[in-house]
Structure 1
Amino acid sequence: MATMAPLNEMEADEPEFKPMTAEEARQWSEKNPSVSPGAVVGVQALVGLVVALVAWGLTGRENVGWSAGYGALAVVIPAALFARGLARKWSLENPQARAMGAAFGFFIWEMVKIALTVAMLFAAPRLVADLSWPAMLVGLVVTMKVYWVALVLRPKRRT
């Protein structure tokens, strides 16, 4: 005979989950604006260009600039593909099936993004003459950190 453990005090006080109505969801979206994935990818591309130019300017070596730029591209191209893949509309009728499809799509596109990034890093020595690994990694990391900047600079919550 199976018995259930008694609920602790915290679990007993939690309200039951109640799905939002379409109107409640619309109002919540208006109060909590999101950042466009395309805008984040655009800012990443701009930051990658700046990093490449700064690397070239500081060292005076063209290969260092190209290496940093390639590191940035190893973030921007997969991120753009990921954003494009997620933008696809799910036309399933059942809301639960649509949610499952969206979650599955997210994981698939994330795997594609990671695989493409790794492939670009492996291809780097063949594609960039006299590759500077430290410069490429700086371009990669700085460009990747734009995600955090987007979180900080996202539109403020409206009251």
Structure 2
Amino acid sequence: MTDTIDHGARHAGFEDEATDPPFKTLSRQEAQALRASIPQVSPWRVVAAQAVAGVVCVAVTWLLTQHNGAVWSALYGAAAVVVPGALLARGMTRGVGSPVAAAAGFLFWEMLKIGVAIAMLVIAARVVPGLSWPTLLITMVVCIKVNWVALLWRAR
């Protein structure tokens, strides 16, 4: 029965572990060359782009509605993305000594980012006069989608 499963797996495009290429450890120079060949995007640049997208959303909201509640909602929606993003960027740009510390730090700052964003949404109705949830949420989505623009920057 095992032979049948393995035989079927080979026909499905899967290979045995024995045919996997051996793992190659990179030298320091090879690792540096690999890292230099992969373009990096600063998290602060992404946060700045999200802030610009938020300001554009606020301006468009003002032009379309000229209603203070909608404008404040758009501004708060942008802040609900930019402030937590800035916290994450701050945490990710400080130096760490080991890969384990970097992974643990990322998890901590990402959880903090999520917590702050949720807290900002929970208190939105109390903080924003004349809150417009659709405006707030649309602005948040636009600001979050700026992350895709960062991938385009990286591809260049």
TM over 0.5: yes
* Equivalence for 2:133: 133
1:74 aligns with 2:80: yes
User: Aligned to 1:85, which of 91, 99, 114?
Assistant: 91
In structure 2, what is the Cα distance between the partners aligned to 1:150 and 1:107?
Answer: 21
Q: Which has the higher helix share?
A: 2
In structure 1, what is the Cα distance between the partners aligned to 2:72 and 2:96?
Answer: 39
1:122 aligns with 2:128: no
1:57-83 CA distance string (max 9 Å, x none): 111212111101111110100010111
Q: For residues 95-110 of structure 1, what are the structure 2 equivalents within 5 Å?
A: 98-110=98-110
Structure 2 gap ranges (5+): 1-5
* TM-aligned CA deviation for residue 126 of structure 1: 1.4
**Higher relative contact order (CA closer than 8 Å, sequence separation 6+):** 1
Whichever residue aligns with residue 22 of structure 2, its letter is E
Whichever residue aligns with residue 101 of structure 2, its letter is G
1:33-67 CA distance string (max 9 Å, x none): 11110100000000011011101111121211110
Structure 1-normalised TM-score?
0.85
CA RMSD of aligned residues (A): 1.9
Q: Is the Cα–Cα contact under 8 Å of residues 35 and 155 in structure 1 kept in the other structure?
A: no
Whichever residue aligns with residue 130 of structure 1, its letter is G
Q: 1:20 to 1:57 in 2, by over 3 A?
A: same
* Equivalence for 1:113: 113
Quick one: percent identity of the two aligned structures? Answer: 46
- Aligned to 1:15, the other structure's residue is in SS state coil
* TM-aligned CA deviation for residue 19 of structure 1: 2.6
Moved more, 73-82 or 58-67: 58-67
Q: Is the Cα–Cα contact under 8 Å of residues 34 and 155 in structure 1 kept in the other structure?
A: no
Moved more, 42-51 or 26-35: 26-35
Whichever residue aligns with residue 122 of structure 1, its letter is V
In structure 2, what is the Cα distance between the partners aligned to 1:124 and 1:9?
Answer: 54
Structure 2-normalised TM-score?
0.86
* TM-aligned CA deviation for residue 99 of structure 1: 0.9
User: Aligned to 2:40, which of 27, 34, 41?
Assistant: 34
In structure 2, what is the Cα distance between the partners aligned to 1:9 and 1:133?
Answer: 52
In structure 2, what is the Cα distance between the partners aligned to 1:9 and 1:143?
Answer: 43
Moved more, 10-19 or 108-117: 10-19
- Aligned to 1:35, the other structure's residue is in SS state coil
